[in-house]
Structure formats: structure tokens, C-alpha cells
């Protein structure tokens, strides 16, 4: 029997039971649409994480005051990072900017309005390292840091919460019990997860350490930016060497600090995003399995209903492989048609359904994968009913009522 004739017979059989064929395809439509949507959602989440990492600065290195793999930090035995450590790192070739950083969260008040936000004590280079831009006013400078000036640069969300549509420049806000004059407002970056770079107040680190934090001498971390991405690893090694000397660590001693560079963060984010995508795809894949079982169920019913037809065809010369091919093609057609419709539904859902601040991203290989899986399911779950039909005894089939 010619291949195209077999396809025509399969299509005629499907069209003769339209409602049953549609209901059978429904399982594949839902399954494929779910897989496309979930994979697209995972891709969207991954792209959003990568965008956030890139927005927070390029070629950055962060030094934390303890190594999370060792216990001494729990009882305060770890050596703190100091301003002297930060200044020492400026001498490393390839380092472009360095900023000591102290952080806390405190209520901020202006007039009868108040909000709660992150307080960042830093150098004027902080916004260059993390790619912040000033929307209005200016960033505090070296002299403000040196003189412990009571000036502040605020995020746009903080400005909106406190001042609404008013211009905040020149106004005085109160943080804790200390008053600060606003000299600048940052350009919005957008919230990402728990961290909101738009709801923060930047202060000179000397001012924050002496006036807000009780003359704190230790830093929460030191942020650096290097000239080129190729400098990240060499600079990181030099940072480790300098800090080990400054912290009087002997050979064999574990570092009492932790260094993280942007490439490590990107790799970690990529792994997390990939795992998230696989997890979502696997969960959605269960619906494909259910759709496949539905196809097998209907095909078994179809074989039973058409037993007499199979007997007649065998009696006039149809071979086992002809019968097998016909029913297998019917199964694959149902699965593929459902797959194509499911792809369309999945793409539309991925485009219009938003989760937090990102949408799904559909890539061509996802569509090819979904259609390949649907065809595979049609073959896998359709083979047993097709084989059963092909092996029917023609005499017994002709006697079937």
C-alpha cells in the first residue's frame, strides 16, 4: 500500500469521528502548550536574572568579611574588613574603582511621610561600579566623604514614597535621628526579587559609619570594578594575596574572607536558571504522558470497533505491516495535530502571561523539541494498538460482530 494512500485512509478515519479525535488531541494540546509555556517561563526567569546581574555593574568583584565555609564567623573570630583593606586594593594593577560599603536598613522620614529602606554607606565610585546614573542633582564627591558630610543621594522609589511628585533636591530627610540633605536622585533600575535598588539611600561611608552606626570600623563588603573581564581572575588572586598578608594568615590557614566576581555570579545564575527551566519542563511533561495514555486508550477502542474492517482488508491481501502502518500513522497524526495546536497555544500564553517582572521567551529549539516529543509519544503509545490490529486473525476478525 502506498504511503500517501495510507495517510488518506488515516485522515478519513479521523474525520469520521471528529469529536473523538478532538478529545483525543486535547490531551496533547494541553501537554505541549504546558511544556512550551513552562520552558518559556524558565527562559524568561533566566534572562531576567542575567539582565539584573549585568545591570548591577560590569567586571565587578565583591570581597566579603568572612568565608561562609568556615565557622569562626559565628563567634566573631573572623578578621573584619577595614577601610585600610579597601585602600590597599587600590594599588592592584587592573583595578578601576574601589568602594568600601557598609549597609543597614532604617526608617527614613520627611515631614509627615516616612518609609523603610536600605541605607548604603559608600564612596562616590559606588555608582560607577554598579552602573547607577544620577537622574537629577549630583553624586556626593571625595570631599563629602573626607569631611563626613551629611548629604544623601536617594533612589527614585524612595523619592516617590517620601515626596510624591515634588522635587526632593535640597530637602532634608531624617534617618534615625540624623538629618541629611538630598543632593541627588538616581535613575530607576527596577526591582529584582528581594533587592530593590530603587528604594535605597546612598551616604558617604564615613558619615554612615560615624553618625548612624556608632563609629563602626568594619565593612560589610568591598566592591571593585576592573578594567576588563580578562582581569577578573588575576585581580582576584592579587586581592587574596594582599588580604592574607594584611590579616596575618599563615600558609595552610583558610581565608577569613570571601571573594566573588561577576563571572562566578553569572555561572551560578545560569545553573539556577537552567535547573528551574528543567524542573518546570519536567512538571509540564507529565501532562504529555497523560495525553499519550489517552491516545493509546482511544486507539485500542478504535481497533476493537474496526475489527471487521481489518479482517476484510487482510482477506483481500493487506499485509500485517500495512495494517500496522495505517494505525500507527493515525496515532502519530492525532499526536502531531495536537502538538501543532499546542505549540500555538503555548506561544500565545508565553507572550501574554506575565510573571512578576518578566515574560516567557520562546526559542525555536523548544518548538522543535515539543513537536518531536509529541510525534514520539504518538509512535510509542500508538505502537501497541497498531501491533494488536496487525496481528488479528483475519478469519476471527471477519466473524467479529
Give the Cβ contact number of residue 145 at 10 Å. 22
- pLDDT band (50, 70, 90) for residue 171: very high
Res 87: pLDDT: 93
Q: Does the residue 90 lie in any domain?
A: yes
Give yes or no for a contact between 134 and 153, defined as CB atoms under 8 angstroms apart. yes
Residues 245 and 118 in one domain: yes
Q: Does the residue 336 lie in any domain?
A: yes
Distance, CA of 351 to CA of 361 (rounded, Å): 8
Q: Does the residue 264 lie in any domain?
A: no
The domain boundary, picked from 256, 284, 309, lies at: 256
Using DSSP, state whether 63 is helix, strand or coil.
strand
Q: Does the residue 144 lie in any domain?
A: yes
Mean pLDDT across the stretch 136-150?
Answer: 94
- pLDDT band (50, 70, 90) for residue 303: confident
Average confidence score pLDDT of the chain: 81
Residues 90 and 218 in one domain: yes
- pLDDT band (50, 70, 90) for residue 250: confident
More reliable by pLDDT, 294 or 102: 102
Give yes or no for a contact between 151 and 199, defined as CB atoms under 8 angstroms apart. no
Residues 19 and 136 in one domain: no
Res 66: pLDDT: 75
Residues 70 and 21 in one domain: no
Residues 242 and 277 in one domain: no
Residues in a beta bridge with 101: 221
- Tens of pLDDT, residue by residue over 337-351, are 888 888 888 888 877
- Tens of pLDDT, residue by residue over 89-142, are 998 999 999 999 999 999 999 988 999 999 999 999 999 999 899 999 999 999
Distance, CA of 105 to CA of 287 (rounded, Å): 45
Instruction: Give me the number of domains the chain comprises.
Output: 2
Picking from 121, 331, 60, 103, the residue whose alpha carbon sits closest to that of residue 339 is 331
- pLDDT band (50, 70, 90) for residue 76: very low
- Of 188-197, 221-230, 319-328, 359-368, where does the model show the most confidence? 221-230
Strands (E), 111-177: 113-122, 134-137, 151-154, 172-175
Give the distance between the most distant pair of CA atoms in the chain.
104
**Residue 8: which domain range?**
3-52+269-399
Residues 113 and 223 in one domain: yes
Residue 72 predicted with pLDDT over 50: no
Residues 231 and 347 in one domain: no
Residues 273 and 241 in one domain: no
Res 30: pLDDT: 83
Distance, CA of 317 to CA of 95 (rounded, Å): 83
The domain boundary, picked from 256, 277, 299, lies at: 256
227-236, 371-380, 384-393: range with lowest mean pLDDT: 384-393
Q: Does the residue 263 lie in any domain?
A: no
Res 395: pLDDT: 63
Please name the helix (run of DSSP H) or strand (run of DSSP E) that holds residue 248, with its range, or none: none
Residues in a beta bridge with 62: 223, 260
Sign, CA dihedral 117-118-119-120, equals negative
- Tens of pLDDT, residue by residue over 261-280, are 877 777 777 777 777 777 77
Residues 302 and 392 in one domain: yes
- pLDDT band (50, 70, 90) for residue 77: very low
Q: Does the residue 262 lie in any domain?
A: no
Residues 223 and 365 in one domain: no
The domain boundary, picked from 209, 234, 256, lies at: 256
Q: Does the residue 25 lie in any domain?
A: yes
Counting Cα atoms < 13 Å in the Cβ hemisphere of 69 gives 6
Residues 226 and 316 in one domain: no
Q: In the chain, helix, strand, coil percent, each to 5?
A: 55, 20, 25
Q: Does the residue 58 lie in any domain?
A: no
Using DSSP, state whether 172 is helix, strand or coil.
strand
- pLDDT band (50, 70, 90) for residue 54: low
Mean pLDDT across the stretch 168-181?
Answer: 93
Residues 136 and 214 in one domain: yes
Q: What is the pTM of this model?
A: 0.66
Q: Collect contacts of 106-110 with beta carbons under 8 A, ≥24 apart.
A: 106/175, 106/176, 106/212, 107/175, 107/176, 108/158, 108/162, 108/173, 108/174, 108/175, 108/201, 109/162, 109/173, 109/174, 109/175, 110/162, 110/163, 110/168, 110/171, 110/172, 110/173, 110/174
Res 225: pLDDT: 92
Amino acid at each position: 500500500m502506498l504511503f500517501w494512500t495510507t495517510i488518506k485512509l488515516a485522515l478519513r478515519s479521523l474525520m469520521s469521528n471528529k469529536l473523538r479525535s478532538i478529545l483525543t488531541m486535547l490531551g496533547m494540546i494541553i501537554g505541549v502548550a504546558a511544556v512550551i509555556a513552562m520552558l518559556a517561563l524558565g527562559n524568561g526567569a533566566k534572562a531576567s536574572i542575567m539582565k539584573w546581574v549585568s545591570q548591577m555593574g560590569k567586571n565587578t568583584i565583591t570581597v566579603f568579611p568572612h568565608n561562609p565555609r568556615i565557622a569562626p564567623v559565628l563567634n566573631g573570630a573572623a578578621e573584619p574588613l577595614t577601610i585600610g583593606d579597601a585602600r590597599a586594593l587600590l594599588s592592584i594593577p587592573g583595578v578601576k574603582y574601589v568602594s568600601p560599603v557598609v549597609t543597614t536598613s532604617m526608617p527614613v522620614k520627611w515631614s509627615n511621610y516616612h518609609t523603610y529602606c536600605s541605607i548604603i554607606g559608600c564612596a562616590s565610585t559606588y555608582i560607577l561600579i554598579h552602573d547607577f546614573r544620577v537622574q537629577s542633582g549630583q553624586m556626593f564627591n571625595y570631599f563629602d566623604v573626607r569631611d563626613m558630610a551629611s548629604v544623601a543621594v536617594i533612589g527614585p522609589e524612595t523619592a516617590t514614597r517620601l515626596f510624591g511628585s515634588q522635587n526632593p533636591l535640597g530637602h532634608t530627610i531624617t534617618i534615625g535621628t540624623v538629618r541629611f540633605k538630598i543632593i541627588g536622585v538616581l535613575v530607576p533600575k527596577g526591582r529584582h526579587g528581594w533587592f530593590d535598588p530603587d528604594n535605597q539611600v546612598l551616604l558617604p561611608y564615613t558619615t554612615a559609619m560615624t553618625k548612624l552606626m556608632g563609629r563602626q570600623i568594619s565593612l560589610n563588603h568591598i566592591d571593585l570594578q576592573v578594567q576588563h573581564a580578562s582581569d577578573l581572575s588575576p585581580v582576584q588572586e592579587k586581592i587574596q594575596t594582599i588580604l592574607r598578608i594584611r590579616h596575618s594568615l599563615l600558609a595552610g590557614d583558610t581565608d577569613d574572607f570571601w571573594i566573588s566576581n561577576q563571572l562566578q555570579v553569572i555561572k551560578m545564575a545560569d545553573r539556577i536558571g537552567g535547573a528551574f527551566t528543567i524542573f518546570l519542563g519536567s512538571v509540564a511533561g507529565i501532562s504529555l504522558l497523560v495525553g499519550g495514555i489517552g491516545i493509546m486508550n482511544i486507539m485500542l477502542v478504535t481497533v476493537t470497533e474496526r475489527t471487521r474492517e481489518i479482517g476484510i482488508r487482510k482477506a483481500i491481501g493487506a499485509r500485517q505491516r500495512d495494517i500496522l502502518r495505517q494505525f500507527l500513522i493515525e496515532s502519530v497524526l492525532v499526536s502531531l495535530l495536537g502538538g501543532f495546536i499546542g505549540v500555538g497555544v503555548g506561544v500565545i500564553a508565553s507572550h501574554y502571561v506575565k510573571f512578576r517582572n518578566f515574560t516567557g521567551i520562546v526559542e525555536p529549539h523548544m518548538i522543535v523539541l515539543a513537536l518531536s516529543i509529541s510525534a514520539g509519544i504518538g509512535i510509542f503509545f500508538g505502537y501497541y494498538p497498531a501491533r494488536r490490529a496487525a496481528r488479528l486473525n483475519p478469519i476471527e476478525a471477519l466473524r467479529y460482530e
